[in-house]
């Protein structure tokens, strides 16, 4: 059954793995993990994986932009 344009749902990603962040921003895993360990970038455990919520990533990037 094909969905009509009116019934299609837009799904926004709400969390990212460390690997996804590294690939997207060209950062090393070590750097991202250090930011998480130092509490500069919020992350949560989901099983064995670390997930950075979209909100935490946006706040981190905003602080980096303004130099805080």
Per-residue pLDDT 10s for the chain (68 aa) are 565 556 678 888 899 999 999 999 999 999 999 999 999 999 999 999 999 999 999 999 999 988 75
pTM, two decimals, is: 0.77
pLDDT at position 39, please? 97
User: Are 46 and 14 within 8 A, CB to CB?
Assistant: no
Say which residues have a Cβ less than 8 Å from residue 32's Cβ, sequence separation at least 6: 18, 21, 22, 41
Structure tokens at 40: 């500069």
| Residue 8 confidence (pLDDT) | 72
Q: Return the CATH class of domain 15-66.
A: mainly alpha
From CA 59, how far away is CA 37, in angstroms rounded?
Answer: 16
């Amino acid at each position: 059954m094909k969905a009509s344009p009116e019934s299609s749902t837009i799904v926004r990603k709400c969390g990212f793995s460390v690997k996804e962040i590294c690939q997207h921003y060209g950062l090393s895993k070590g750097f991202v993990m250090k930011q998480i360990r130092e509490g500069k970038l919020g992350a949560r455990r989901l099983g064995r994986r670390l997930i950075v919520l979209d909100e935490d990533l946006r706040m981190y990037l905003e602080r980096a932009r303004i130099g805080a």
